[in-house]
Amino acid sequence: MTPADSGWSRPDWRTRESLLLAPWAMHAVDSAGRHHPEPPHQFRSPYQRDRDRIVHSAAFRRLAHKTQVFTGYHGDYHRSRLTHTLEVTSIARTLARALALNEDLVEALALAHDIGHPPLGHAGEDTLAELLRDEGGFSHNAQALRIMELLESRYPGFPGLNLSREVLDAQATRKKDGSAPPPLLEAQVVDAADSIAYDTHDADDAIELGLVTLEELCGLPLVAEAAARVGERHGSLAGVEARRAILHELVDRQVAELIRESRATIDELGVDSVARVRDVFRGSAGTPGRRIVAHAPTIAAGKRQLERFLFERVYRSDRVLAVRVPAQRQLTELFDWYVARPDRMPAGYRQRAEAFGVRRSVADYLAGMTDRYLEFDHARRLAPGS
Ligand code: MG
């Protein structure tokens, strides 16, 4: 029997959302829409289209060859910016479903959250920020908005991806300059998932690369507690088996605790609408603003200890810092080369140089490059005798 024979008919996205989403979720029927109005899609909800537009963008594809923390020189086990993004999305979807939030919107926000990163991770970002110091600076969060609103050109009739207002607002919130409305729970979930993902996978990558040991990590209370739980369940494990089980437990514990804590806050504060979510974030006289999706104090303190450890032992390690110097030199030399020869950039960047200035447009071009294309282009443009 086919669905048609049975009298079954596919509920459209409006029905699905009205049945599945909580009153504190962002319902797509309440969206502020797109800058360039478009007719609704026959099958896909507005946020599903946003999600698809991000996946089909060049900026998203290039995340595969952009540094998260470690570059290609460090090996091939560790996360790239793309696999980090997919881990964030996976955690964010679990949180969204458990809190009856809009999963399509959460997925769009998670997949897009790092598309503004230039090549070579934070070394690249710091270099571009310094080069554009007198032109408004550079940050990956602001760059993601430029990509969404201007730099991607995939559709006739408008520049950028013409995403829903809620996606743009969520990205604007990440700039932390007060220009965006308070974040929806869907955006708060993605921020939390980002932190859960990188705290755990950076620890995993760092052990694999020999920067830290599992025993050292188990000296931190949050990790020790995960190790104790694994011990209770599996007895004594060793080596890679122990590491995988403990780090998996670390993610699972943070996710479960975050869902419980956020649900309790929703109940305690009587959160029953998106407007209330925003009021809680803003705070009021005598009540400080707060995030509803937030860890309990003990977990938050444990995460801060873990992050301090990773900062000292991983992000500031000689092996990570050793990549910074050549990265900064490559980017700076190529930046200067294109600023002197803007006509050598692709047509779109040449045209935008007239509106936004040569230095901004060169930064847009370089920021879009993958690590390996930057190296290729640097060799091609600046090799002796070229
Ligand atoms: Mg991230």
What does the pLDDT look like over 308-364, one tens digit per residue?
A: 999 998 888 888 888 888 889 999 999 999 999 999 999 999 999 999 999 999 999
- How many angstroms separate the CA atoms of 115 and 309, rounded? 27
- Ligand 1 centroid vs 114 CA: distance in angstroms? 5
pLDDT band at residue 285 using 50, 70 and 90 as cut-offs: confident
- Among 103-107, 207-211, 300-304, which is the least confidently predicted range? 207-211
- Ligand 1 centroid vs 168 CA: distance in angstroms? 17
Q: Is residue 14 part of a domain?
A: no
Pick from 331, 327, 354, 330: nearest CA to 342: 354
- What does the mean pLDDT of the chain come to? 92
Q: Is residue 6 part of a domain?
A: no
Range of the domain at 214: 43-281+291-382
Residue 293 has what pLDDT? 98
Pick from 122, 126, 128: nearest CA to 70: 122
Residue 72 has what pLDDT? 66
Q: Is residue 22 part of a domain?
A: no
- Ligand 1 centroid vs 298 CA: distance in angstroms? 23
For the cut 60, the answer to whether the pLDDT of residue 299 exceeds it is yes
Which residue carries 């959302």 as its tokens? 17
- Ligand 1 centroid vs 191 CA: distance in angstroms? 8
Contact of 281 with 182, CB cutoff 8 Å: yes
- Ligand 1 centroid vs 198 CA: distance in angstroms? 7
Q: Is residue 31 part of a domain?
A: no
Predicted TM-score of the model (pTM): 0.94
Residue 386 has what pLDDT? 60
Q: Is residue 193 part of a domain?
A: yes
pLDDT band at residue 2 using 50, 70 and 90 as cut-offs: low
What residues pair up with 34 in beta bridges, in sequence order?
Answer: 164
* First-residue to last-residue Cα distance in the chain: 69
User: Which amino acid, residue 64?
Assistant: A
- Ligand 1 centroid vs 57 CA: distance in angstroms? 18
Residue 286 has what pLDDT? 86
Tell me the CATH number at 168.
Answer: 1.10.3210.10
Residue 124 has what pLDDT? 92
- Ligand 1 centroid vs 287 CA: distance in angstroms? 30
Query: Which residues have a Cβ under 8 Å from the Cβ of 255 and sit 6 or more positions away?
Result: 91, 94, 95, 196
For the cut 90, the answer to whether the pLDDT of residue 238 exceeds it is no
Residue 34 has what pLDDT? 96
- Ligand 1 centroid vs 3 CA: distance in angstroms? 41
- Ligand 1 centroid vs 84 CA: distance in angstroms? 7
- Ligand 1 centroid vs 290 CA: distance in angstroms? 21
Residues bordering ligand 1, an ion, CB closer than 5 Å = 114, 194
Q: Is residue 16 part of a domain?
A: no
Residue 7 has what pLDDT? 75
- Ligand 1 centroid vs 283 CA: distance in angstroms? 27
Residue 3 has what pLDDT? 55
Tally the domains of the chain. Answer: 1
